[in-house]
C-alpha cells in the first residue's frame, strides 16, 4: 500500500509536526511505501520533519502544480492529511486518491480557528459554523477587526468543511473533537493518539528543581496571564519559595515577561524564568526536572498533547477543564482540573495547590500520570491507524 502523508509545512513547529516526524518512520517500518507532501517551508530556523528517506513532494520548492503532478505520478493508494492551509490544495489532494484526514484543530468548524469568544471574557464557543459566526465575530471578539479578513476566513473555512465532508475517513484524538465534528455532519473515529516525547532519560523519584512548568505558544489563548496572576496565591498557600519556568515563544511573550518582573519584585520568593523556544531535547529535560505541568489554556484545546508528553516523565498536570483536556487529565488521578467556563485565576490556583500541597497525594498523581501516558504511544496508535488506511485503500481496489 502506498500512503501519501500531506501537511502544510515540513518543519518542526509544534505537536502535529512532531507527530508526523514519528509516524512517517513508523509507517515505513511496517513495510508500507510512504511519501510526504507539504505546502510551505517556514520557519527556516526549525529542523525539518524526519521523513525517513521517503520521497518528498514540496510545493514550496518546485511549485504547487509540479508537486501535485509528481505526487499523482507516484500513484498513492491513500492520502493521509493533516491541517492543510490552502482549501484548493486540500480539495485537489482529496480528489487524487481515497483520503483520510486527521483533525488536530478546528479545521472547517470555526472562522478564526480558536473556537473561543474573547469578550467579555474568554469562553469556549459551542456554536455550529455558519452564517451566525458572522453575526458574533465582532461583538464577541472572535478574531480581528477587519470585515475583509472575517469574510475571507469565513469563505476559507466553509471550503475546508465542504472538503472534509468528502473524506473517506476522518480521525481525531478526543471525544470532544468527535462531538464537535458530528455537529458539523462529519463522522469521526477516535483512535489512541501517539504523543511524542523527547529521548531524555528519566529516573523515577529524581530531584525536580522546577515547581511549575508552562510549555507552549505564548499568546492570549494559552492563558499564561492566568498562571502568572495565580502565582502569588499559590506561593502563599504552599508557604514556601516557588520556581516557575515558561518554555516557548509567541506574540505575548513580552507582556508575560513584564508581568513576571512585577510579580517577582513584589514577592522575591517567586522565581520566574523564560527559557524561550525549546527543541525536543531541551523540552524533555525541562519536563524531567519539573514537578507539575500547568496548562492554563482558555480556549478549548482539541487535545493538548503536551500534557501526556510530560506525563511520560511522571509529571502530573493542572489545567482548565476545556476542550479535549479532560480526555487525558482526570481530576485526582493524574492532576487536577479547574472550571474553565469561564476560567478564573482563583480556580487555577486551587488546582495547582491541590497537586503540590500534600507530598503523599503528589506521589499518587505522579504515578497516575505515568500510567495514563501508557495509553498514548505509537505502539497503541499505529495498528489502529493502519487498519483505517487499509480499509480506505481496499475500498477503492
What number of other Cβ atoms are within 10 A of residue 47's Cβ?
12
Arithmetic mean of pLDDT, 68-96 = 98
CA max distance for the chain: 68
Burial call 301-334: b when 16+ CB within 10 Å, e when fewer: bbbbbbbbbbbbbbbbbbbbbbbbbbbbbeeeeb
DSSP H or E run through 365: helix 359-373
Arithmetic mean of pLDDT, 156-182 = 97
Arithmetic mean of pLDDT, 29-35 = 97
HSE-up of residue 198 (Cα within 13 Å, Cβ side): 18
Q: What is the pLDDT of residues 305-347, one digit of tens each?
A: 999 999 999 999 999 999 999 999 999 999 999 999 899 999 9
What number of other Cβ atoms are within 10 A of residue 205's Cβ?
8
Question: Which phi and psi angles does 129 have, rounded to 5°?
Answer: -60, 130
Report pLDDT for 397. Answer: 47
Report pLDDT for 198. Answer: 63
Q: Is 393 helix (H, G, I), strand (E, B) or coil?
A: helix
Report pLDDT for 120. Answer: 87
CA dist., res. 392 & res. 396, Å (int): 7
Q: What is the pLDDT of residues 225-273, one digit of tens each?
A: 999 999 999 999 999 999 999 999 999 999 999 999 999 999 999 999 9
Q: What domains lie within the chain, and their CATH numbers?
A: 2-194+377-396 (3.40.50.2000), 210-373 (3.40.50.2000)
Q: What is the DSSP letter of 321?
A: -
Residue 252 CB contacts under 8 Å (≥ 6 apart), including other chains: 218, 219, 220, 222, 224, 225
What number of other Cβ atoms are within 10 A of residue 222's Cβ?
24
Classify residue 68 as left (phi > 0), alpha (psi -120 to 50) or beta: alpha
Average pLDDT score over the chain: 94
What number of other Cβ atoms are within 10 A of residue 198's Cβ?
19
Question: Which phi and psi angles does 150 have, rounded to 5°?
Answer: -60, -50
Cell of 45: 530556523
Q: What is the DSSP letter of 106?
A: -
Report pLDDT for 279. Answer: 85
CA dist., res. 228 & res. 82, Å (int): 33
Q: Report yes or no on whether pTM surpasses 0.85.
A: yes
Report pLDDT for 202. Answer: 56
Report pLDDT for 206. Answer: 58
Report pLDDT for 121. Answer: 86
According to DSSP, the residues that pair with 271 across neighbouring strands are: 243
Q: What is the pLDDT of residues 180-223, one digit of tens each?
A: 999 999 999 999 999 877 665 555 555 689 999 999 999 999 99
Q: What is the pLDDT of residues 114-128, one digit of tens each?
A: 999 988 888 899 999
CA dist., res. 307 & res. 290, Å (int): 13
DSSP string, 172-219: ES-HHHHHHHHTTT---EE-------------TT----EEEEEES--S
Arithmetic mean of pLDDT, 153-160 = 97
Given a contact cutoff of 8 angstroms between Cβ atoms, the answer to whether 82 and 102 are in contact is yes
Q: Is 103 helix (H, G, I), strand (E, B) or coil?
A: strand
What is the number of residues in the chain? Answer: 397
Amino acid at each position: 500500500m502506498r500512503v501519501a502523508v500531506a501537511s502544510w509545512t515540513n518543519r518542526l513547529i509544534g505537536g502535529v509536526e512532531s507527530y508526523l516526524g514519528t509516524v512517517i518512520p513508523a509507517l515505513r517500518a511496517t513495510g508500507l511505501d510512504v511519501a510526504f507532501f507539504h505546502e510551505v517551508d517556514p520557519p527556516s530556523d526549525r529542523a525539518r520533519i524526519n521523513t525517513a528517506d521517503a520521497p518528498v513532494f514540496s510545493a514550496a520548492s518546485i511549485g504547487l502544480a509540479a508537486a501535485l503532478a509528481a505526487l499523482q505520478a507516484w500513484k498513492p493508494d491513500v492520502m493521509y492529511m493533516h491541517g492543510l492551509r490552502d482549501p484548493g490544495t486540500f480539495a485537489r489532494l482529496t480528489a487524487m486518491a481515497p483520503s483520510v484526514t486527521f483533525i488536530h484543530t478546528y479545521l472547517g468548524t470555526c472562522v478564526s480557528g480558536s473556537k473561543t469568544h474573547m469578550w467579555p471574557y474568554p469562553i469556549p464557543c459551542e456554536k455550529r459554523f455558519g452564517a451566525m459566526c458572522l453575526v458574533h465575530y465582532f461583538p464577541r471578539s472572535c478574531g480581528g477587526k477587519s470585515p475583509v479578513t472575517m469574510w475571507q476566513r469565513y469563505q476559507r473555512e466553509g471550503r475546508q468543511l465542504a472538503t472534509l465532508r468528502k473524506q473517506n475517513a476522518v480521525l481525531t484524538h478526543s471525544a470532544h473533537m468527535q462531538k464537535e465534528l458530528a455537529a458539523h455532519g462529519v463522522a469521526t473515529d477516535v483512535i489512541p493518539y501517539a504523543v511524542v516525547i523527547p529521548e531524555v532519560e528519566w529516573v523515577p523519584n529524581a530531584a525536580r528543581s522546577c515547581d511549575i512548568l508552562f510549555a507552549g505558544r505564548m499568546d492570549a489563548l494559552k492563558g499564561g496571564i492566568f498562571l502568572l496572576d495565580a502565582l502569588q496565591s499559590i506561593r502563599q498557600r504552599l508557604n514556601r519559595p516557588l520556581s516557575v519556568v515558561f518554555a516557548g515563544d509567541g506574540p505575548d511573550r513580552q507582556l508575560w515577561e513584564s508581568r513576571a518582573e512585577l510579580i517577582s519584585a513584589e514577592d522575591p520568593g517567586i522565581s520566574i524564568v523564560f527559557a524561550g523556544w525549546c527543541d525536543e531535547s531541551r523540552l524533555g529535560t525541562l519536563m524531567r526536572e519539573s514537578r507539575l505541568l500547568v496548562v492554563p489554556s482558555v480556549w478549548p484545546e482539541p487535545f493538548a498533547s503536551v500534557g501526556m508528553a510530560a506525563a511520560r516523565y511522571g509529571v502530573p498536570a493542572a489545567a482548565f477543564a476545556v476542550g479535549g483536556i479532560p480526555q487525558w487529565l482526570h481530576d485526582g488521578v493524574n492532576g487536577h482540573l479547574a472550571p474553565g467556563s469561564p476560567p478564573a485565576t482563583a480556580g487555577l490556583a486551587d488546582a495547582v495547590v491541590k497537586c503540590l500541597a500534600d507530598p503523599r497525594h503528589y506521589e499518587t498523581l505522579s504515578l497516575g500520570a505515568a500510567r495514563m501516558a501508557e495509553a498514548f504511544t505509537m505502539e497503541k496508535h499505529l495498528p489502529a491507524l493502519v487498519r483505517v488506511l487499509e480499509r480506505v485503500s481496499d475500498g477503492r481496489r
